[in-house]
């Protein structure tokens, strides 16, 4: 009987139009694997939005994928789980390229941008290592106010599309920049860039090392790199460390666990699913995965162990796996400074391919401690402090200053040193 039912469903999808195929596949996945924190069940929403799709497709000879996507997005909005999302084909290709260390599919500058409604242009929050932006001399805190003499649109939502349109052709651009409110002109050549962002290390004259971890995307790469950089900091005689997780939207469970172990020695996560659970952790140089009955080694690395003082910097864009990292270091006694984090730090997601080339990111797991206690949704800093963009464009990094002060250091160097190793606020990567 189950085989007959599966056959009927497959035939039904084959006979349906593109929009119906997409919706039925997506809703079927949600009904089967979703195990998130929403009080609503996907199954309770499916029929409501199936009827809405029928209405939307009524006057179309062949209802296109785009219509199915629109209805699916409505369903996801009502479900209200910020960790369960639709990825367009373009966005999903970019995600996969980021995971594998691939390149962007169009020319870019290689910057992480933000903006403030009251200030023109866009603000550089981070510069990708080896990117056209780095080669042009762009720095964190710069405010780009014009491209080839054309000012950015006043409407905030139009600013990044304006930049995208200007860089898409790959032609050289002249950037009008305000750096600490002083004007300067920079020339940049947009290019296809590597999307994988590696941790980097800056050694300051005060003896404080700044470890910047922009992402945890990169299997068996990020954790290994963090341990290498911790060893480098120790060999250079660093007495304290600032770990900067601002703008880090997360990544792979294995990588945040491995990276955190460079400060805590061991790490552990229990991933509770609808049926059963899976354990992830780091112990003795090994990243392991398994169940209570059987474990297997995912990969090994040469472990380091930081033995000095440290603080962790977070903001409202620190999310998911980066929140796990911050939880682990906070539990180990390292102070966290900054803003309450994004609030998706107690679940794990999986990605599922859709018929239109896109994907569905679905919460499949709730994360608990070894003793079964759930994690909070977000990290609450020990020292709450705003990641002040107005101060940033004037030349002050408020959280970095607070971290240095907490570690007994003073700001005697430029506030935004370049890494010695490659490696409503809205955060936008471009």
Question: DSSP 3-state assignment of 383?
Answer: strand
Q: How confident is the model at residue 426 (pLDDT cuts 50, 70, 90)?
A: very low
The rounded distance, in Å, linking the Cα atoms of 309 and 242 is: 9
Average pLDDT for the chain: 89
State the average pLDDT over residues 387-398. Answer: 95
Predicted pLDDT at 392: 96
Q: How confident is the model at residue 151 (pLDDT cuts 50, 70, 90)?
A: very high
Q: Token pair for residue 170? A: 């790959």
Q: Domains in the chain, ordered, with CATH? A: 2-80 (no CATH), 111-188 (2.30.42.10), 200-271+299-421 (3.90.226.10)
Three-class secondary structure assignment of 216-227:
ECCCCCHHHHHH
61 has pLDDT over 60 = yes
Predicted pLDDT at 302: 97
Predicted pLDDT at 293: 78
Sign of CA dihedral 410, 307, 261, 373: negative
277 has pLDDT over 90 = no
Poorest-pLDDT segment among 176-185, 262-271, 368-377: 368-377
DSSP at 374: B
14 has pLDDT over 90 = no
422 has pLDDT over 70 = no
Count of C-beta atoms within a 10 Å radius of residue 94 = 19
The rounded distance, in Å, linking the Cα atoms of 79 and 288 is: 33
411 has pLDDT over 60 = no
- Select from 290, 222, 204 the least CA-distant residue to 262: 222
Q: Token pair for residue 261? A: 């172990």
5 has pLDDT over 60 = no
423 has pLDDT over 60 = no
Alpha carbon of 82 to those of 34, 85, 320: distances in Å?
13, 7, 11
The rounded distance, in Å, linking the Cα atoms of 406 and 422 is: 27
| CB contact at 8 A, 211 and 245 | no
State the average pLDDT over residues 182-201. Answer: 94
420 has pLDDT over 70 = no
Q: What's the CA angle centered on 33, arms 101 and 271, to 5 degrees?
A: 70
- Select from 367, 387, 292, 274 the least CA-distant residue to 327: 367
Say what the pTM is: 0.84
The rounded distance, in Å, linking the Cα atoms of 79 and 84 is: 9
Q: Give the range with max mean pLDDT: 202-211, 225-234, 286-295, 414-423.
A: 225-234
Predicted pLDDT at 412: 55
Burial environment of residue 351 by CB neighbours within 10 A (0 to 12, 13 to 18, 19 or more): middle
Q: How confident is the model at residue 429 (pLDDT cuts 50, 70, 90)?
A: very low
- Select from 377, 363, 215, 348 the least CA-distant residue to 270: 348
Residues 6+ away with beta carbon under 8 Å from 210:
201, 202, 203, 204, 241, 242, 244, 400, 417
413 has pLDDT over 80 = no
Poorest-pLDDT segment among 90-99, 226-235, 344-353, 403-412: 403-412
Query: What percentage of the chain exceeds 90 in pLDDT?
Result: 73
Query: For the segment 105-142, what is each residue's pLDDT rounded down to a tens digit?
Result: 899 999 999 999 899 999 999 999 899 999 999 999 99
Predicted pLDDT at 347: 85
238 has pLDDT over 50 = yes
Count of C-beta atoms within a 10 Å radius of residue 71 = 25
Q: Token pair for residue 86? A: 């639709």
180 has pLDDT over 50 = yes
86 φ, ψ (degrees, to nearest 5) = -95, 135
State the average pLDDT over residues 47-64. Answer: 93
Three-class secondary structure assignment of 288-339:
EEECCCCEEEEEECCCCCCCCEEEEEECCCCCCHHHHHHHHHHHCCCCEEEC
The rounded distance, in Å, linking the Cα atoms of 259 and 304 is: 10
Query: What percentage of the chain exceeds 70 in pLDDT?
Result: 91
The rounded distance, in Å, linking the Cα atoms of 27 and 83 is: 16
419 has pLDDT over 50 = no
State the average pLDDT over residues 376-383. Answer: 95
12 has pLDDT over 50 = no
With b for 16 or more beta-carbon neighbours within 10 A and e for fewer, the 274-312 pattern comes to eeeebebbbbeebbbbeeeeeeeebeebebbebebebbb
Predicted pLDDT at 414: 52
The rounded distance, in Å, linking the Cα atoms of 389 and 402 is: 15
| CB contact at 8 A, 185 and 176 | yes
């Amino acid at each position: 009987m189950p085989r007959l039912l599966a056959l009927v469903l497959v035939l039904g999808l084959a006979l349906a139009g593109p929009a119906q195929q997409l919706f039925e596949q997506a809703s079927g996945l949600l009904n089967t694997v979703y195990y998130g924190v929403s009080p609503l069940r996907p199954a309770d929403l499916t029929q409501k939005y199936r009827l809405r799709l029928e209405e939307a497709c009524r006057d179309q000879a062949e209802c296109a994928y785009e219509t199915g996507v629109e209805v699916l997005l409505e369903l996801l909005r009502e479900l209200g789980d910020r960790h369960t999302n639709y990825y367009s084909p373009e966005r999903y290709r970019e995600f996969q390229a980021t995971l594998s260390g691939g390149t962007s599919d169009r020319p870019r500058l290689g910057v992480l941008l933000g903006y403030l409604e009251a200030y023109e242009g866009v603000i550089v929050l981070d510069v990708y290592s080896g990117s056209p932006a780095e080669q042009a001399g762009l720095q964190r805190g710069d405010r780009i106010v014009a491209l080839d003499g054309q000012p950015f649109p006043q409407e905030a939502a139009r600013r990044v599309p304006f930049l995208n349109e200007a860089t898409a052709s790959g032609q050289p651009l002249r950037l009008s920049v305000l750096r600490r409110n002083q004007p300067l002109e920079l020339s940049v050549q947009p290019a296809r860039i590597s999307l994988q962002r590696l941790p980097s290390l800056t050694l300051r004259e005060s003896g404080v090392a700044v470890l910047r971890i922009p992402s945890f995307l990169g299997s068996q790469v990020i954790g290994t790199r963090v341990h290498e950089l911790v060893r480098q900091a120790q060999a250079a005689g660093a007495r304290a460390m600032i770990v900067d997780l601002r703008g880090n939207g997360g990544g792979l469970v294995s990588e945040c666990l491995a990276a955190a172990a460079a400060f805590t020695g061991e790490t552990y996560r229990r991933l509770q699913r609808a049926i059963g659970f899976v354990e992830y952790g780091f112990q003795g140089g090994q990243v392991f995965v398994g169940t209570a009955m059987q474990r297997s080694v995912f990969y090994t690395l040469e472990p380091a162990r930081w033995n000095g003082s440290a603080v962790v910097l977070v903001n409202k864009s620190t999310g998911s796996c980066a929140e796990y990292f911050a939880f682990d270091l906070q539990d180990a006694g390292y102070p966290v400074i900054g803003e309450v984090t994004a609030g998706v730090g107690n679940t794990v997601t999986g990605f599922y391919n859709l018929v239109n080339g896109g994907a569905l990111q679905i919460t499949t797991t709730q994360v608990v401690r070894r003793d079964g206690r759930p994690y909070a949704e977000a990290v609450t800093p020990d020292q709450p402090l705003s990641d002040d963009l107005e101060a940033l464009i004037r030349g002050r990094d408020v959280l970095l200053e607070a971290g240095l002060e907490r570690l007994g250091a003073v700001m005697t160097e430029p506030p935004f040193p370049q890494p010695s190793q490659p490696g409503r606020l809205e955060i936008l990567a471009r």
